[in-house]
A and B are shown apart, each in its own frame.
Chain A
Amino acid sequence: MAEPHIVLENIHKSFGSKHVLKGVNVGVGKGRSLVVIGGSGSGKSVTLKCILGLLHPEKGSIRVDGQEITDLRGSALDQMMGRFGMLFQGAALFDSLTVWRNVAFGLIQGKKMKPGEARAIAIDKLAEVGLGPELADISPAELSGGMRKRVGLARAIAPEPEIIFFDEPTTGLDPIMGDVINNLIVDSVKRLGATTITITHDMASARKIGDDIAMIYKGKIVWCGPANEIDQSNNPYVDQFIHGREEGPIEIEL
Protein backbone atom coordinates (compact mmCIF):
# COMPACT_ATOMS: atom_id res chain seq x y z
CA MET A 1 0.00 0.00 0.00
CA ALA A 2 1.33 3.42 -0.99
CA GLU A 3 2.44 5.77 1.78
CA PRO A 4 0.09 8.73 2.46
CA HIS A 5 0.99 12.13 0.95
CA ILE A 6 2.08 13.53 4.31
CA VAL A 7 3.23 11.32 7.19
CA LEU A 8 4.13 12.33 10.73
CA GLU A 9 5.80 9.56 12.71
CA ASN A 10 6.62 9.70 16.42
CA ILE A 11 7.12 13.49 16.52
CA HIS A 12 8.50 14.86 19.79
CA LYS A 13 8.98 18.53 20.58
CA SER A 14 9.85 20.23 23.87
CA PHE A 15 10.30 23.82 24.96
CA GLY A 16 12.67 23.75 27.94
CA SER A 17 11.15 21.33 30.42
CA LYS A 18 7.73 21.45 28.72
CA HIS A 19 7.22 18.36 26.56
CA VAL A 20 4.56 19.55 24.08
CA LEU A 21 4.51 16.77 21.44
CA LYS A 22 4.94 13.29 22.87
CA GLY A 23 4.99 11.10 19.77
CA VAL A 24 2.49 12.39 17.21
CA ASN A 25 1.58 9.80 14.54
CA VAL A 26 -0.77 10.80 11.75
CA GLY A 27 -0.99 10.67 7.96
CA VAL A 28 -3.05 12.31 5.24
CA GLY A 29 -3.67 10.88 1.78
CA LYS A 30 -3.23 12.78 -1.47
CA GLY A 31 -6.12 15.17 -2.13
CA ARG A 32 -7.63 14.45 1.31
CA SER A 33 -8.47 17.01 3.96
CA LEU A 34 -7.35 16.24 7.51
CA VAL A 35 -8.62 18.37 10.38
CA VAL A 36 -6.72 18.22 13.68
CA ILE A 37 -8.92 19.18 16.63
CA GLY A 38 -7.91 19.73 20.22
CA GLY A 39 -8.05 22.18 23.08
CA SER A 40 -5.77 25.14 23.67
CA GLY A 41 -2.21 24.06 24.49
CA SER A 42 -2.74 20.51 23.21
CA GLY A 43 0.02 20.84 20.57
CA LYS A 44 -1.98 21.60 17.40
CA SER A 45 -0.03 24.70 16.35
CA VAL A 46 3.33 23.14 17.27
CA THR A 47 2.52 20.13 15.05
CA LEU A 48 1.72 22.44 12.14
CA LYS A 49 4.87 24.51 12.69
CA CYS A 50 6.97 21.33 12.70
CA ILE A 51 5.59 20.34 9.28
CA LEU A 52 6.21 23.86 7.96
CA GLY A 53 9.85 23.81 9.11
CA LEU A 54 9.24 26.74 11.47
CA LEU A 55 10.09 24.46 14.41
CA HIS A 56 12.42 21.48 14.38
CA PRO A 57 11.25 18.35 16.24
CA GLU A 58 13.81 16.65 18.48
CA LYS A 59 12.71 13.21 17.39
CA GLY A 60 10.58 11.64 14.70
CA SER A 61 10.03 11.79 10.99
CA ILE A 62 7.92 14.02 8.75
CA ARG A 63 7.69 12.87 5.14
CA VAL A 64 6.06 14.42 2.09
CA ASP A 65 5.76 11.99 -0.82
CA GLY A 66 8.22 9.79 1.07
CA GLN A 67 10.83 12.57 1.33
CA GLU A 68 12.09 13.40 4.83
CA ILE A 69 11.61 17.14 5.42
CA THR A 70 12.75 17.64 9.03
CA ASP A 71 16.38 18.01 7.97
CA LEU A 72 15.77 20.33 5.00
CA ARG A 73 17.54 23.69 5.14
CA GLY A 74 18.27 26.61 2.79
CA SER A 75 17.19 26.29 -0.83
CA ALA A 76 15.89 22.70 -0.34
CA LEU A 77 13.54 24.01 2.36
CA ASP A 78 12.52 26.97 0.14
CA GLN A 79 11.75 24.51 -2.65
CA MET A 80 9.58 22.42 -0.35
CA MET A 81 7.85 25.59 0.90
CA GLY A 82 7.00 26.34 -2.73
CA ARG A 83 4.73 23.26 -2.61
CA PHE A 84 2.97 24.57 0.53
CA GLY A 85 0.37 27.25 1.10
CA MET A 86 -0.65 28.51 4.54
CA LEU A 87 -3.54 30.52 5.95
CA PHE A 88 -2.48 31.89 9.35
CA GLN A 89 -4.86 32.39 12.26
CA GLY A 90 -4.64 36.20 12.11
CA ALA A 91 -4.05 36.08 8.32
CA ALA A 92 -0.48 37.45 8.91
CA LEU A 93 -0.80 39.93 6.05
CA PHE A 94 2.23 42.17 5.48
CA ASP A 95 1.23 45.63 6.72
CA SER A 96 3.80 47.37 4.55
CA LEU A 97 2.37 45.97 1.30
CA THR A 98 -0.91 46.61 -0.48
CA VAL A 99 -3.54 43.86 -0.69
CA TRP A 100 -2.58 42.75 -4.21
CA ARG A 101 1.12 42.67 -3.34
CA ASN A 102 0.28 40.46 -0.35
CA VAL A 103 -1.63 38.04 -2.57
CA ALA A 104 1.07 38.10 -5.23
CA PHE A 105 3.98 37.81 -2.77
CA GLY A 106 4.57 34.09 -3.32
CA LEU A 107 4.33 34.54 -7.08
CA ILE A 108 6.81 37.45 -7.24
CA GLN A 109 9.31 36.26 -4.60
CA GLY A 110 8.88 32.48 -4.81
CA LYS A 111 8.06 31.92 -8.49
CA LYS A 112 9.94 35.05 -9.77
CA MET A 113 6.90 36.22 -11.73
CA LYS A 114 6.83 39.76 -13.19
CA PRO A 115 4.72 42.16 -11.07
CA GLY A 116 2.27 42.96 -13.92
CA GLU A 117 1.48 39.31 -14.50
CA ALA A 118 1.34 38.59 -10.75
CA ARG A 119 -1.08 41.49 -10.20
CA ALA A 120 -3.53 40.04 -12.76
CA ILE A 121 -3.43 36.65 -11.00
CA ALA A 122 -3.80 38.34 -7.58
CA ILE A 123 -6.96 40.14 -8.75
CA ASP A 124 -8.35 36.83 -10.09
CA LYS A 125 -7.62 35.14 -6.76
CA LEU A 126 -9.26 38.01 -4.86
CA ALA A 127 -12.34 37.50 -7.04
CA GLU A 128 -12.30 33.78 -6.20
CA VAL A 129 -12.59 34.65 -2.50
CA GLY A 130 -15.32 37.21 -3.17
CA LEU A 131 -13.29 40.44 -3.07
CA GLY A 132 -13.43 43.07 -5.80
CA PRO A 133 -10.49 44.67 -7.65
CA GLU A 134 -11.17 47.99 -5.87
CA LEU A 135 -9.52 46.48 -2.76
CA ALA A 136 -6.30 45.59 -4.59
CA ASP A 137 -4.48 48.84 -3.88
CA ILE A 138 -5.50 49.45 -0.27
CA SER A 139 -3.53 48.57 2.86
CA PRO A 140 -4.43 45.44 4.89
CA ALA A 141 -4.98 47.75 7.90
CA GLU A 142 -8.15 49.03 6.21
CA LEU A 143 -9.74 45.56 5.99
CA SER A 144 -12.21 43.92 8.40
CA GLY A 145 -11.37 40.59 10.09
CA GLY A 146 -13.35 38.55 7.56
CA MET A 147 -11.78 40.38 4.63
CA ARG A 148 -8.30 39.81 6.05
CA LYS A 149 -9.01 36.06 6.22
CA ARG A 150 -10.19 36.12 2.60
CA VAL A 151 -7.04 37.95 1.50
CA GLY A 152 -4.97 35.45 3.51
CA LEU A 153 -6.79 32.61 1.74
CA ALA A 154 -6.21 34.26 -1.66
CA ARG A 155 -2.49 34.53 -0.79
CA ALA A 156 -2.37 30.87 0.26
CA ILE A 157 -3.96 29.60 -2.97
CA ALA A 158 -2.35 32.08 -5.41
CA PRO A 159 0.77 29.97 -6.15
CA GLU A 160 -1.55 26.93 -6.58
CA PRO A 161 0.20 24.80 -3.96
CA GLU A 162 -0.32 21.05 -3.75
CA ILE A 163 -0.53 21.14 0.07
CA ILE A 164 -2.37 23.82 2.06
CA PHE A 165 -2.42 24.37 5.83
CA PHE A 166 -5.14 26.25 7.66
CA ASP A 167 -4.50 27.50 11.20
CA GLU A 168 -7.78 28.18 13.03
CA PRO A 169 -9.46 29.58 9.88
CA THR A 170 -12.67 30.69 11.61
CA THR A 171 -11.30 31.97 14.93
CA GLY A 172 -12.41 35.52 15.68
CA LEU A 173 -15.17 35.52 13.06
CA ASP A 174 -18.94 35.54 13.58
CA PRO A 175 -20.67 32.20 12.75
CA ILE A 176 -21.96 33.41 9.37
CA MET A 177 -18.59 34.78 8.24
CA GLY A 178 -17.00 31.59 9.61
CA ASP A 179 -19.28 29.55 7.36
CA VAL A 180 -18.44 31.79 4.39
CA ILE A 181 -14.72 31.15 4.99
CA ASN A 182 -15.33 27.39 5.40
CA ASN A 183 -17.18 27.30 2.06
CA LEU A 184 -14.41 29.29 0.36
CA ILE A 185 -11.82 26.86 1.74
CA VAL A 186 -13.79 23.82 0.52
CA ASP A 187 -14.31 25.38 -2.94
CA SER A 188 -10.69 26.51 -3.32
CA VAL A 189 -9.28 23.18 -2.19
CA LYS A 190 -11.61 21.26 -4.52
CA ARG A 191 -10.59 23.47 -7.44
CA LEU A 192 -6.87 22.92 -6.75
CA GLY A 193 -7.18 19.26 -5.79
CA ALA A 194 -4.85 20.03 -2.90
CA THR A 195 -4.05 17.98 0.21
CA THR A 196 -4.88 19.99 3.32
CA ILE A 197 -4.28 19.97 7.04
CA THR A 198 -6.43 22.25 9.17
CA ILE A 199 -6.13 22.83 12.89
CA THR A 200 -9.15 24.13 14.70
CA HIS A 201 -11.25 23.82 17.82
CA ASP A 202 -14.38 24.88 15.91
CA MET A 203 -16.39 21.68 15.34
CA ALA A 204 -18.66 23.27 12.70
CA SER A 205 -15.54 24.13 10.72
CA ALA A 206 -14.01 20.68 11.28
CA ARG A 207 -17.14 18.88 10.01
CA LYS A 208 -17.41 21.14 6.97
CA ILE A 209 -13.75 21.10 5.88
CA GLY A 210 -12.55 17.65 6.93
CA ASP A 211 -12.59 14.31 5.14
CA ASP A 212 -10.79 12.92 8.18
CA ILE A 213 -10.48 14.22 11.72
CA ALA A 214 -7.71 13.57 14.24
CA MET A 215 -7.89 14.62 17.86
CA ILE A 216 -4.75 15.65 19.71
CA TYR A 217 -4.56 15.71 23.49
CA LYS A 218 -1.47 16.36 25.59
CA GLY A 219 0.84 16.01 22.57
CA LYS A 220 -0.56 12.69 21.28
CA ILE A 221 -3.17 11.75 18.69
CA VAL A 222 -5.91 10.07 20.73
CA TRP A 223 -8.32 9.37 17.85
CA CYS A 224 -8.26 9.54 14.08
CA GLY A 225 -10.98 8.58 11.62
CA PRO A 226 -13.40 9.71 8.91
CA ALA A 227 -15.20 12.98 9.71
CA ASN A 228 -18.63 11.38 9.35
CA GLU A 229 -17.79 8.78 12.01
CA ILE A 230 -16.73 11.22 14.72
CA ASP A 231 -20.11 11.14 16.45
CA GLN A 232 -19.82 7.34 16.79
CA SER A 233 -16.15 7.36 17.81
CA ASN A 234 -16.83 5.94 21.32
CA ASN A 235 -13.69 7.77 22.37
CA PRO A 236 -14.26 9.57 25.70
CA TYR A 237 -11.83 12.38 24.78
CA VAL A 238 -13.55 12.99 21.43
CA ASP A 239 -17.03 12.78 22.98
CA GLN A 240 -16.16 15.30 25.68
CA PHE A 241 -14.54 17.67 23.16
CA ILE A 242 -17.23 17.63 20.46
CA HIS A 243 -20.01 18.07 23.00
CA GLY A 244 -18.10 20.74 24.90
CA ARG A 245 -18.59 19.06 28.31
CA GLU A 246 -16.62 20.07 31.40
CA GLU A 247 -16.84 16.52 32.81
CA GLY A 248 -14.66 13.86 31.23
CA PRO A 249 -11.10 12.65 30.87
CA ILE A 250 -9.81 15.96 29.42
CA GLU A 251 -8.22 17.99 32.19
CA ILE A 252 -8.76 21.71 31.88
CA GLU A 253 -5.72 23.71 32.98
CA LEU A 254 -7.02 26.83 34.68
Chain B
Amino acid sequence: MTFLATIGSFIFSMLAEVGRVSIFARDAVIRGLLPPWYFRQLIDQIIRIGYNSLPVVGLTAFFTGGALALQIYIGGTRYNAENLVSSIVALGITRELGPVMAGLMVTGRVAAAIAAELGTMRVTEQIDALTTLSTNPFKYLVGPRILAAVITMPVLVGIADIIGILGGFIVGTTSLGFNYAAYIKNTTDFVEFTDVTSGLIKAAVFGFIIALMGCYHGFNSKGGAQGVGRATTNAVVSGSILILAANYALTSLLFSE
Protein backbone atom coordinates (compact mmCIF):
# COMPACT_ATOMS: atom_id res chain seq x y z
CA MET B 1 0.00 0.00 0.00
CA THR B 2 2.84 2.38 0.88
CA PHE B 3 4.48 1.61 -2.46
CA LEU B 4 1.25 2.33 -4.37
CA ALA B 5 0.71 5.50 -2.35
CA THR B 6 4.21 6.67 -3.26
CA ILE B 7 3.56 6.07 -6.95
CA GLY B 8 0.18 7.81 -6.73
CA SER B 9 1.64 10.78 -4.90
CA PHE B 10 4.44 11.05 -7.51
CA ILE B 11 1.92 10.99 -10.38
CA PHE B 12 -0.30 13.61 -8.70
CA SER B 13 2.62 15.92 -8.01
CA MET B 14 3.84 15.50 -11.61
CA LEU B 15 0.38 16.32 -13.00
CA ALA B 16 0.15 19.33 -10.69
CA GLU B 17 3.52 20.54 -12.00
CA VAL B 18 2.38 20.09 -15.61
CA GLY B 19 -0.72 22.13 -14.77
CA ARG B 20 1.36 24.90 -13.17
CA VAL B 21 3.74 25.04 -16.16
CA SER B 22 0.76 25.15 -18.57
CA ILE B 23 -0.87 28.05 -16.69
CA PHE B 24 2.47 29.86 -16.56
CA ALA B 25 2.95 29.32 -20.34
CA ARG B 26 -0.57 30.59 -21.06
CA ASP B 27 -0.04 33.71 -18.92
CA ALA B 28 3.38 34.29 -20.44
CA VAL B 29 2.00 34.15 -23.99
CA ILE B 30 -1.16 36.20 -23.34
CA ARG B 31 0.41 38.86 -21.14
CA GLY B 32 3.64 38.92 -23.17
CA LEU B 33 1.80 39.64 -26.40
CA LEU B 34 -0.52 42.34 -25.05
CA PRO B 35 0.77 45.94 -24.68
CA PRO B 36 2.66 47.62 -23.12
CA TRP B 37 5.73 46.12 -24.83
CA TYR B 38 9.21 46.60 -23.47
CA PHE B 39 11.35 46.94 -26.63
CA ARG B 40 14.49 47.84 -24.70
CA GLN B 41 14.15 44.60 -22.73
CA LEU B 42 13.49 42.64 -25.93
CA ILE B 43 16.61 43.99 -27.69
CA ASP B 44 18.67 43.34 -24.57
CA GLN B 45 17.44 39.73 -24.43
CA ILE B 46 18.00 39.18 -28.16
CA ILE B 47 21.64 40.18 -27.63
CA ARG B 48 22.01 38.02 -24.49
CA ILE B 49 20.21 34.93 -25.80
CA GLY B 50 21.13 35.10 -29.47
CA TYR B 51 24.32 37.04 -30.09
CA ASN B 52 26.11 35.86 -26.94
CA SER B 53 25.27 32.21 -27.70
CA LEU B 54 26.86 32.35 -31.17
CA PRO B 55 30.37 31.16 -30.15
CA VAL B 56 29.17 28.10 -28.21
CA VAL B 57 26.58 27.14 -30.84
CA GLY B 58 29.05 27.70 -33.72
CA LEU B 59 31.81 25.60 -32.15
CA THR B 60 29.38 22.81 -31.26
CA ALA B 61 28.03 22.73 -34.81
CA PHE B 62 31.50 22.79 -36.35
CA PHE B 63 32.81 19.82 -34.38
CA THR B 64 29.52 17.92 -34.72
CA GLY B 65 29.66 18.33 -38.53
CA GLY B 66 33.27 17.18 -38.61
CA ALA B 67 32.66 14.15 -36.37
CA LEU B 68 29.55 13.25 -38.38
CA ALA B 69 31.56 13.29 -41.64
CA LEU B 70 34.17 10.97 -40.10
CA GLN B 71 31.57 8.54 -38.71
CA ILE B 72 29.60 8.34 -41.96
CA TYR B 73 32.79 7.81 -43.93
CA ILE B 74 33.99 5.03 -41.59
CA GLY B 75 30.56 3.36 -41.58
CA GLY B 76 29.98 3.98 -45.29
CA THR B 77 33.19 2.23 -46.41
CA ARG B 78 31.72 -1.05 -45.16
CA TYR B 79 28.99 -0.76 -47.81
CA ASN B 80 30.90 1.22 -50.47
CA ALA B 81 28.70 4.21 -49.63
CA GLU B 82 31.42 6.79 -48.87
CA ASN B 83 29.97 9.17 -51.46
CA LEU B 84 26.94 9.76 -49.25
CA VAL B 85 29.04 11.62 -46.66
CA SER B 86 28.22 15.15 -47.88
CA SER B 87 24.49 14.57 -48.28
CA ILE B 88 24.05 12.72 -44.99
CA VAL B 89 26.06 15.38 -43.13
CA ALA B 90 23.84 18.09 -44.63
CA LEU B 91 20.61 16.19 -43.87
CA GLY B 92 21.71 15.18 -40.38
CA ILE B 93 22.76 18.71 -39.49
CA THR B 94 19.76 20.58 -40.92
CA ARG B 95 17.05 18.16 -39.79
CA GLU B 96 18.32 16.89 -36.44
CA LEU B 97 21.72 17.74 -35.07
CA GLY B 98 21.69 21.48 -35.82
CA PRO B 99 18.49 22.26 -33.89
CA VAL B 100 18.98 19.63 -31.17
CA MET B 101 22.63 20.39 -30.42
CA ALA B 102 22.01 24.15 -30.55
CA GLY B 103 18.90 23.68 -28.38
CA LEU B 104 20.79 21.70 -25.75
CA MET B 105 23.75 24.10 -25.71
CA VAL B 106 21.49 27.15 -25.43
CA THR B 107 19.53 25.40 -22.67
CA GLY B 108 22.75 24.97 -20.70
CA ARG B 109 23.73 28.59 -21.23
CA VAL B 110 20.49 30.55 -21.43
CA ALA B 111 17.89 28.60 -19.39
CA ALA B 112 20.39 28.42 -16.53
CA ALA B 113 21.16 32.14 -16.78
CA ILE B 114 17.48 33.12 -16.92
CA ALA B 115 16.59 30.88 -13.97
CA ALA B 116 19.49 32.21 -11.91
CA GLU B 117 18.68 35.84 -12.74
CA LEU B 118 14.93 35.62 -12.11
CA GLY B 119 15.49 33.35 -9.10
CA THR B 120 17.79 35.92 -7.53
CA MET B 121 15.28 38.65 -8.35
CA ARG B 122 12.56 36.58 -6.65
CA VAL B 123 14.48 35.90 -3.43
CA THR B 124 15.70 39.52 -3.17
CA GLU B 125 12.11 40.79 -3.67
CA GLN B 126 12.96 42.56 -6.94
CA ILE B 127 9.99 40.87 -8.64
CA ASP B 128 7.68 42.12 -5.86
CA ALA B 129 9.25 45.57 -6.27
CA LEU B 130 8.27 45.55 -9.97
CA THR B 131 4.63 44.96 -9.01
CA THR B 132 4.68 47.79 -6.50
CA LEU B 133 6.08 50.08 -9.23
CA SER B 134 3.00 49.40 -11.43
CA THR B 135 4.95 47.06 -13.73
CA ASN B 136 3.68 43.59 -14.51
CA PRO B 137 6.62 41.18 -14.01
CA PHE B 138 5.21 38.83 -16.67
CA LYS B 139 5.29 41.58 -19.26
CA TYR B 140 8.59 43.07 -18.15
CA LEU B 141 10.60 39.91 -17.45
CA VAL B 142 8.95 36.83 -18.99
CA GLY B 143 7.45 38.16 -22.24
CA PRO B 144 10.67 39.69 -23.67
CA ARG B 145 12.73 36.60 -22.79
CA ILE B 146 10.32 34.17 -24.44
CA LEU B 147 9.89 36.35 -27.52
CA ALA B 148 13.65 36.88 -27.83
CA ALA B 149 14.32 33.12 -27.60
CA VAL B 150 11.65 32.29 -30.20
CA ILE B 151 13.10 34.90 -32.58
CA THR B 152 16.79 34.15 -32.09
CA MET B 153 16.82 30.33 -31.96
CA PRO B 154 15.93 29.88 -35.67
CA VAL B 155 18.68 32.40 -36.56
CA LEU B 156 21.16 30.54 -34.35
CA VAL B 157 20.18 27.20 -35.87
CA GLY B 158 20.45 28.64 -39.41
CA ILE B 159 24.01 29.70 -38.59
CA ALA B 160 24.67 26.35 -36.88
CA ASP B 161 23.50 24.55 -40.05
CA ILE B 162 25.98 26.49 -42.19
CA ILE B 163 28.87 26.01 -39.74
CA GLY B 164 28.04 22.31 -39.20
CA ILE B 165 28.00 21.62 -42.94
CA LEU B 166 31.25 23.61 -43.20
CA GLY B 167 32.78 21.37 -40.49
CA GLY B 168 31.83 18.29 -42.51
CA PHE B 169 33.19 19.93 -45.67
CA ILE B 170 36.57 20.75 -44.09
CA VAL B 171 36.98 17.22 -42.67
CA GLY B 172 35.69 15.65 -45.90
CA THR B 173 38.01 17.58 -48.20
CA THR B 174 41.13 17.69 -46.01
CA SER B 175 41.13 14.34 -44.15
CA LEU B 176 38.92 12.10 -46.27
CA GLY B 177 40.12 13.20 -49.72
CA PHE B 178 36.82 14.38 -51.24
CA ASN B 179 36.89 16.83 -54.14
CA TYR B 180 35.81 20.36 -53.14
CA ALA B 181 33.42 20.90 -56.05
CA ALA B 182 31.92 17.39 -55.86
CA TYR B 183 31.33 17.74 -52.11
CA ILE B 184 29.50 21.05 -52.54
CA LYS B 185 27.50 19.76 -55.54
CA ASN B 186 26.39 16.63 -53.63
CA THR B 187 25.31 18.79 -50.70
CA THR B 188 23.31 21.32 -52.71
CA ASP B 189 21.75 18.64 -54.94
CA PHE B 190 20.54 16.55 -52.04
CA VAL B 191 19.32 19.08 -49.47
CA GLU B 192 15.78 20.35 -49.96
CA PHE B 193 14.21 23.56 -48.70
CA THR B 194 11.96 21.65 -46.28
CA ASP B 195 14.99 20.02 -44.65
CA VAL B 196 16.14 23.46 -43.57
CA THR B 197 12.71 24.86 -42.66
CA SER B 198 11.84 21.83 -40.53
CA GLY B 199 14.96 22.52 -38.46
CA LEU B 200 14.06 26.17 -38.13
CA ILE B 201 10.53 25.34 -36.96
CA LYS B 202 12.03 23.01 -34.38
CA ALA B 203 14.39 25.80 -33.33
CA ALA B 204 11.52 28.23 -32.66
CA VAL B 205 9.74 25.61 -30.51
CA PHE B 206 12.98 24.86 -28.66
CA GLY B 207 13.47 28.59 -28.06
CA PHE B 208 10.03 28.76 -26.45
CA ILE B 209 10.82 25.73 -24.25
CA ILE B 210 14.23 27.10 -23.18
CA ALA B 211 12.93 30.53 -22.13
CA LEU B 212 9.76 29.08 -20.58
CA MET B 213 11.69 26.65 -18.39
CA GLY B 214 14.21 29.31 -17.36
CA CYS B 215 11.47 31.79 -16.50
CA TYR B 216 9.17 29.26 -14.79
CA HIS B 217 11.80 27.83 -12.48
CA GLY B 218 13.38 31.22 -11.77
CA PHE B 219 10.04 32.91 -11.14
CA ASN B 220 8.98 30.21 -8.68
CA SER B 221 12.27 29.78 -6.86
CA LYS B 222 12.29 30.12 -3.09
CA GLY B 223 14.59 29.51 -0.17
CA GLY B 224 17.62 31.74 -0.80
CA ALA B 225 20.81 30.70 -2.58
CA GLN B 226 19.96 26.99 -2.38
CA GLY B 227 16.58 27.66 -4.00
CA VAL B 228 18.20 29.59 -6.83
CA GLY B 229 20.66 26.74 -7.40
CA ARG B 230 17.78 24.25 -7.47
CA ALA B 231 15.86 26.43 -9.93
CA THR B 232 18.89 26.61 -12.24
CA THR B 233 19.39 22.86 -12.22
CA ASN B 234 15.68 22.18 -12.76
CA ALA B 235 15.55 24.66 -15.65
CA VAL B 236 18.43 22.95 -17.47
CA VAL B 237 17.25 19.39 -16.79
CA SER B 238 13.58 19.98 -17.65
CA GLY B 239 14.52 22.16 -20.65
CA SER B 240 16.83 19.46 -22.07
CA ILE B 241 14.30 16.65 -21.59
CA LEU B 242 11.48 18.69 -23.10
CA ILE B 243 13.66 19.60 -26.09
CA LEU B 244 14.42 15.93 -26.78
CA ALA B 245 10.75 14.97 -26.37
CA ALA B 246 9.58 17.88 -28.53
CA ASN B 247 12.18 16.93 -31.16
CA TYR B 248 10.72 13.45 -31.44
CA ALA B 249 7.15 14.80 -31.60
CA LEU B 250 8.05 17.40 -34.23
CA THR B 251 10.02 14.91 -36.31
CA SER B 252 6.98 12.58 -36.32
CA LEU B 253 4.74 15.49 -37.24
CA LEU B 254 6.91 17.16 -39.88
CA PHE B 255 8.19 14.03 -41.65
CA SER B 256 5.15 11.77 -41.46
CA GLU B 257 4.12 10.54 -44.91
Contacts and interface: CB of A to CB of B under 8 A. Distances in A.
B129 interface: yes
A65 to B, nearest CB: 18
Interface in B128-150: 128-129, 131-136, 140
Nearest to A83: B134
A109 B125 contact: no
Interface residues of A, number: 23
Interface residues of B, number: 14
A82 interface: yes
B124 interface: yes
Nearest to B135: A109
B136 A92 contact: no
Contacts of A53: 131
Interface string A84-125: 111011101111000000000110011000000000000000
B135 A54 contact: no
A228 B124 CA distance: 34
Contact of A86 (B120, B124, B129): B129
B52 interface: no
B134 A92 contact: no
Contacts of B120: 95
B126 interface: yes
Given A88-B125, A92-B125, A54 B131 contact: yes
B196 to A, nearest CB: 36
- Central interface residue in B125, B132, B136, by most chain A CB within 10 Å: B132
Nearest to B133: A106
Interface of A: 49, 52-54, 78-79, 81-82, 84-86, 88-90, 92-95, 105-106, 109-110, 155
Interface of B: 120-121, 124-126, 128-129, 131-136, 140
6 contacts: A81-B133, A86-B129, A90-B124, A93-B126, A94-B121, A94-B126
